């Protein structure tokens, strides 16, 4: 009898559980405060897609997918008719209501009018496609001074150096706790990741991957980049000159010089020797951040026209760009999804800090004709688009299906599976 | 001792004398093998470290040579600054190339070179900083003469390639290389777990060993590494740079070959031992069976001889009685009756001796027996015999009750046997003493006589079967062997002390069974 009781006891005792995987994400720079709107820049915005749902997101092919929306119907490039899901709730349990959605959309530069069981959503910023604005609109509700979201995670702790998020309804085999840890420098972030204090780090330059090779507890993964390294021209430079410069600079030779072989997603092309730069003014090259080498390579390609390289801080670069005090400047403008081009290059677009204006491009954007928009940019180039890098990240080896993108870098994290 | 136990004992002796020395020899050989394996691994690691050091030294020397060449070629040109800056496009390991002179603003000087080093560089000396981490890769600031007085060409050597080289060094599955600078700072690590120290600059376990090596202190070839594992290590140093290279391999992996051989040979030895035990056991048992059979025949012969002798003697007497009876003389009737009674008594004892041999002691049937009372019982049992021999039997009791467990009948047979022997050996008018005592934790019944004693050469075989020398026609020579059999069956012993002319003492020792005074089976209550 005692034996039977022992067997029953052993049989009923749960096996010792494994330590749940907590993702500790190493970041460098100020963490800032997590907010549904992009009013306060900071690294905490990485957590936006886990805490705040959008009405729609985008798949790898660039098509909109409903999230909080039950259905989407495009009325025009500026207008959509969206039915809401009825089952969504905020992290305090309150249902997501139509008025919460309207208020959230309005704070993202959209207007939403209820009618016939759906919302008619429209861009309030003329010329900006509704797709691009919807992708930036997170749905939230203010409660006791906090902005609550309806995403799978909720903030449980926020300090100057750490943001802790917990899954609202824990799921077996998934990550249920995330911590964003802000370090002062990339070196600190790398060192702490190698030491095991953090187990996810992203936005890594290819050359820095060396440090993570053959570390058994970590794995490297990557995803398609959304931005392209570019040499952006001052719009004051003539169109003809910009075309010539763009053609000369968009060469495999420059890519090879600046990045080495195989670093860019752009297809390799046979070197062109027929591109020669006509005489023209010497161009000062404004450079910042990690673009030092790109600036040197551009100057070599520009040959006689390559002028002084001025390497400055990002803030100084922004200031010089705003005042037009540059001939060409290194940068990494958004290239995907196609609608995001409007944000950067449309006349008056929110990220169009360069003052570029191209009516043909604007018209194509208004028609949501992205191929025509691309062609318009090629015809009157604002920049020489050079190299699209893969996004690189390193994560705990126990994560089975890590993935970057397609829109927000870590947006699929809530679905990552953990090895049991 | 059973045949099986004897067989096992024999086998163990054979195994111990044959296989164990071989086993010890094998262990000794394997220990040597392991030591040599460790030494060979350490030598191999040292060779790899030396090669790596040479390669790293060459790489650094090439970079500096390239810088010198560029500096000399470009420094005089009008657009020297731009051309120097462009160099890093073609030579990615040379960064931030610039001309440095006394007029160069402090913010544009190489940040890891001291003012004294810069001054030395401007005096046409080559200077280099210690390594540091710049933009996530190890780096070193170097200035070389430009060929013009008061000007030097300076650059930051990007040592990422060095990191790559070190990471590419693999020994086995888990072996790796580490590079340390003069101060013991880890500048490149093949072990992922230790790479954090490259970035943080924190010392690792090997750091003091590395800086010691540069100063001439030999570094150990077996140590606990920075990631906490027991490793074998090979060391090499770069005298020019003051760097040291360690190539480490976890001892477990490095000695896996020797350990596998050890396990294999140990398994083989154990297997051999088991096989030899199995074979030895089988042979020993067969031999013992044959010996036992032979011994049985021999015993049967000896019994037959004894029986023939004794019964023959009895037959002779019975024939004489028969002849006496045939005379039909009434006067002989009393004598005939007495003789027949005596012969019947003798034959009865004869049969009783045989009967004792057939009774086995079964521990399950043992009962508590108080030895003082038991001795009294024996005395009474021997009283008739003693009276005939005109010998007194006395009991000397122990100061307190002394309990044993046993088969009362068998113990009584054994005690009576010893007592009768003592009576037979005693002169008429003397006494036999039954002494009860506790000695060395055992309960002892000693039977003492004052007879002629036993010759010393007889004592050794006294308890062997059919060794009686009395041969009076009433002894089979089974008495004392049977006493010993009974004693052993009770977990006890029987021994003898004798001095010729002074008498003998036979001691029957039995395990004490504690205080049984409360037992219901005290002699008073026993049937």
What does the DSSP assignment read for B78-107? TTHHHHHHHHHHH-TTEEEEEEEETTS-GG
Confidence tier at A270 by pLDDT (50, 70, 90): low
Q: Tell me the three state secondary structure of residue A282.
A: coil
Write the pLDDT tens digit of every residue in A211-238.
Answer: 898 898 999 999 999 999 999 999 999 9
| Model confidence band, residue B135 (pLDDT cutoffs 50, 70, 90) | confident
Band of residue A6 on the pLDDT scale cut at 50, 70, 90: very low
pLDDT tens by residue, B236-295: 998 888 899 999 999 988 888 777 877 887 788 778 778 877 887 788 888 888 887 887
Q: Which of A212, A213, A296 sits opposite B86 (nearest CB)?
A: A296
Chain A nearest C-alpha distance from B146 (Å):
23
Q: Is the peptide bond before B8 cis (omega within 30 degrees of 0)?
A: no
Question: Residue A329 carries which DSSP code?
Answer: E
Residues 6+ positions from A217 with CB-CB distance below 8 Å: A196, A199, A396, A397, B192
Which residues lie closer than 8 Å to A420 by C-beta, 6 or more apart?
A18, A173
- Binned at pLDDT 50, 70 and 90, residue B480 comes out as confident
Residue A307 neighbours by CB under 8 Å, 6+ apart: A282, A283, A284, A285, A299, A327
Mutate to test the interface with B, among A190, A198, A211 (most CBs of B within 10 A): A211
* ipTM field: 0.81
Radius of gyration (Cα) for chain B, nearest Å? 50
State the CATH architecture for A229-267+280-387: Roll (3.10)
CATH value of A53-149 in 3.40.190.10, 3.40.50.2020, 1.10.10.10, 1.10.3720.10: 3.40.190.10
**B148 in Cβ contact with B94 (< 8 Å):** no
The proportion of chain A whose per-residue pLDDT surpasses 70, expressed as a percent, equals 92
A22-30+151-224+390-415 and A53-149, same CATH topology: yes
Flag whether pLDDT at A415 surpasses 70.
yes
Q: pTM for the whole thing?
A: 0.69
Query: Is B359-511 a CATH 3.20.20.70 domain?
Result: no
**A352 contacts A345 by C-beta, under 8 angstroms:** yes
> Closest approach of chain A CAs to the CA of B86, in angstroms?
6
Task: Give CA–CA dist B118/B101, Å, rounded.
Answer: 9
Tokens at residue A380, please?
């009157």
pLDDT band at B54 (very low <50, low <70, confident <90, very high): very high
All residues of chain B having their beta carbon less than 8 Å from the beta carbon of residue A300 are 86, 89
pLDDT in tens, A82-106: 999 989 999 999 999 999 999 999 9
Work out the mean pLDDT of chain B and round it to a whole number: 85
Interface test with A, best of B192, B198, B226 (most A CBs within 10 A): B192
Q: Where are chain B's structural domains?
A: 1-254, 268-328, 359-511
Q: How far is B83 from chain A (nearest CA, A)?
A: 10
Return the domain boundaries, chain A: 22-30+151-224+390-415, 53-149, 229-267+280-387
Q: What is the spatial distance between Cα A86 and Cα A81, in angstroms, rounded to a whole number? A: 16
A159-170 tens-digit pLDDT? 999 999 999 999
Nearest to B477 by CA among B350, B372, B298: B350
Highest mean pLDDT (candidates A37-41, A128-132, A312-316, B358-362):
A312-316
How much of chain B, in percent, has pLDDT values that exceed 90?
35
Q: What is the dihedral of CA B293, B298, B300, B304, to 10 degrees?
A: 160
Taking an 8 Å cut-off on Cβ atoms, the answer to whether B199 and A191 are in contact is yes
B192 lies within 8 A of chain A by CB: yes
Q: Specify whether the CB–CB gap between B453 and B504 falls below 8 A.
A: yes
Instruction: Please report the beta strands in A234-305, taking only residues with DSSP state E, as ranges in sequence order.
Output: 283-288
The correct CATH number of A22-30+151-224+390-415 out of 3.40.50.2300, 3.40.50.300, 3.40.190.10, 3.30.9.10 is 3.40.190.10
Residues of chain A positioned with their CB less than 8 A from the CB of B198: 211
What is the Cα–Cα distance from A384 to A329, expressed in whole angstroms?
A: 10
Alpha carbon distance B73, B85 (integer Å): 14
Q: Within 13 A of A51's CA, how many CA atoms are on the CB side?
A: 27
**A300 to chain B, closest Cα gap in Å:** 8
pLDDT digits (tens, 9 = 90+) for B305-349: 767 777 777 788 888 888 888 888 888 888 888 888 888 887 887
Three-state SS annotation for B225-255:
CCCCCEEEEEEEEECCCCEEEEEEEEHHHHC
Give the tens place of pLDDT for each residue, B494-520. Answer: 999 998 888 999 999 999 987 554 443
Statement: residue A13 has pLDDT above 80: no
Query: Inter-chain contact A300–B167, Cβ cutoff 8 Å?
Result: no
Binary contact (A207, B160; C-beta < 8 A): yes
DSSP bridge partners of B152? B100, B145
pLDDT for A412 equals 95
CA A242/CA A233 separation, integer angstroms:
7
Helix axes A239-249, A292-302, angle to 10 degrees: 110
What residues have CB less than 8 Å from A407, skipping those under 6 apart?
Answer: A57, A58, A135, A226, A337
Contact B330/A at CB under 8 A:
no
Mean pLDDT of B64-87: 87
Sheet strands side by side (includes A22-28): A153-158, A162-167, A177-183, A22-28, A200-202, A391-396, A218-223
Average pLDDT over chain A, rounded to whole?
Answer: 89
User: What is the model's pLDDT at position A9?
Assistant: 44
Q: In sequence order, what are the beta bridge partners of B144? A: B153
pLDDT at B524: 33
């Amino acid at each position: 009898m005692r034996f039977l009781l022992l067997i029953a006891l052993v049989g009923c005792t749960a096996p010792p559980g494994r330590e749940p995987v907590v993702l500790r994400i190493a970041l460098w720079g100020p963490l800032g405060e997590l907010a549904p709107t992009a009013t306060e820049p900071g690294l905490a915005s990485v957590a936006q897609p886990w805490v705040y749902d959008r009405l729609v997101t985008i798949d790898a092919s660039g098509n909109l997918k409903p999230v909080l929306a039950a259905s989407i119907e495009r009325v025009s490039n500026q207008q959509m008719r969206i039915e809401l899901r009825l089952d969504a709730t905020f992290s305090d349990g309150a249902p997501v209501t139509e008025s919460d959605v309207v208020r959230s959309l309005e704070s993202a530069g959209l207007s939403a009018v209820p009618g016939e069981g759906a919302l008619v959503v429209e861009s309030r910023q003329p010329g900006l496609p509704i797709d691009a604005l919807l992708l930036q609109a997170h749905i939230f509700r203010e409660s006791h001074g906090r902005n609550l979201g309806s995403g799978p995670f909720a903030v449980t702790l926020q300090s100057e150096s750490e943001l802790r998020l917990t899954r609202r309804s824990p799921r077996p085999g998934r990550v249920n706790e995330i911590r964003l840890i802000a370090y002062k420098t990339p070196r600190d972030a790398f060192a702490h990741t190698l030491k095991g204090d953090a187990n996810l780090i992203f936005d890594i330059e290819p050359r820095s991957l060396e440090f993570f090779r053959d570390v058994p507890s970590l794995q490297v993964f990557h995803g398609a980049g959304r931005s392209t390294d570019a040499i952006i021209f001052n719009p004051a430079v003539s169109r003809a000159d910009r075309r010539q410069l763009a053609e000369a600079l968009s060469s495999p030779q420059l890519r090879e010089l600046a990045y080495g072989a195989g670093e860019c997603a752009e297809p390799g092309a046979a070197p062109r020797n027929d591109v020669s730069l006509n005489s023209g003014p010497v161009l000062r090259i404004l450079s910042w951040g990690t673009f030092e080498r790109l600036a040197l390579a551009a100057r070599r390609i520009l040959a006689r026209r390559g002028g002084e390289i001025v390497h400055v801080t990002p803030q100084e670069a922004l200031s010089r760009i705003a005042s037009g005090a540059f001939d060409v400047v290194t940068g990494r403008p958004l290239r995907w999804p196609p609608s995001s081009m409007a944000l950067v290059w449309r006349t008056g677009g929110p990220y169009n800090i360069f003052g570029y204006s191209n009516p043909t491009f604007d018209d194509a954007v208004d028609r949501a004709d992205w191929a025509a928009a691309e062609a318009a940019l090629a015809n009157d180039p604002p920049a020489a688009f050079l190299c699209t890098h893969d996004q690189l990240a390193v994560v705990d080896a126990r994560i089975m299906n890590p993935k970057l993108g397609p829109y927000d870098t870590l947006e699929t994290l809530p679905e990552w599976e953990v090895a049991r | 001792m059973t045949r099986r136990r004897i067989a096992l004992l024999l086998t163990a002796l054979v195994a111990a004398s044959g296989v164990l020395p071989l086993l010890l020899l094998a262990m000794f050989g394997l220990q040597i093998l392991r030591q040599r394996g460790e030494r060979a691994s350490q030598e191999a690691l040292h060779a790899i470290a030396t090669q790596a050091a040479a390669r790293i030294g060459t790489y650094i020397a090439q970079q500096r040579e390239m810088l010198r060449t560029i500096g000399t070629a470009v420094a005089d040109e009008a657009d020297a600054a731009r051309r120097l800056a462009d160099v890093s496009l073609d030579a990615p390991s040379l960064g931030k190339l610039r001309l440095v002179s006394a007029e160069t603003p402090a913010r544009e000087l190489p940040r890891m070179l001291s003012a004294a080093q810069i001054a030395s560089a401007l005096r046409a000396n080559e200077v280099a900083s210690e390594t540091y981490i710049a933009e996530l890769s190890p780096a070193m600031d170097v200035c070389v003469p430009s060929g013009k007085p008061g000007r030097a060409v300076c650059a930051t050597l990007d040592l990422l390639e060095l990191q790559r080289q070190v990471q590419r060094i693999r020994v086995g599955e888990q072996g790796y290389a580490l590079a340390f600078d003069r101060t013991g700072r880890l500048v490149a690590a093949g072990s992922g777990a230790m790479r954090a120290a490259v970035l943080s600059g924190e010392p690792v376990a090997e750091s003091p060993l590395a800086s010691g090596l540069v100063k001439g202190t030999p570094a150990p070839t077996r140590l606990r590494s920075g990631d906490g594992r027991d490793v074998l290590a090979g060391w090499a140093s770069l005298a020019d740079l003051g760097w040291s290279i360690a190539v480490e391999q976890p001892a477990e992996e490095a000695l896996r070959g020797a350990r596998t051989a050890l396990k294999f040979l140990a398994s083989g030895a154990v297997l051999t031992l088991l096989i030899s035990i199995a074979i030895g056991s089988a042979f020993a048992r067969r031999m013992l069976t044959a010996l036992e059979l032979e011994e049985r025949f021999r015993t049967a012969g000896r019994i037959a001889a004894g029986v023939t002798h004794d019964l023959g003697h009895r037959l002779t007497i019975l024939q004489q009685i028969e002849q006496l009876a045939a005379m039909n003389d009434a006067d002989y009737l009393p004598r005939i009756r007495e003789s027949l009674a005596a012969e019947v008594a003798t034959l009865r004892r004869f049969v009783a001796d045989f009967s004792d041999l057939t009774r086995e002691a079964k521990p399950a049937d043992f009962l508590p027996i108080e030895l003082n009372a038991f001795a009294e019982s024996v005395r009474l049992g021997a009283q008739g015999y003693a009276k005939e021999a005109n010998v007194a039997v006395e009991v000397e009791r122990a100061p307190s009750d002394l309990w044993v467990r046993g088969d009362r009948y068998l113990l009584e047979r054994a005690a009576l046997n010893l007592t009768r022997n003592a009576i037979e050996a005693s002169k008429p008018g003397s006494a036999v003493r039954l002494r009860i005592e506790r000695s060395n934790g055992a309960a002892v019944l000693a039977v003492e006589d004052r007879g002629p004693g036993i010759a010393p050469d007889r004592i050794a075989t006294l308890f062997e079967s059919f060794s009686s020398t009395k041969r009076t026609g009433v002894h089979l020579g089974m008495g004392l062997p049977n006493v010993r059999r009974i004693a052993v069956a009770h977990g006890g012993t029987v021994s003898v002390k004798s001095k010729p002319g002074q008498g003998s003492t036979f001691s029957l020792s039995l395990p004490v069974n504690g205080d049984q005074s409360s037992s219901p089976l005290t002699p008073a209550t026993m049937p």
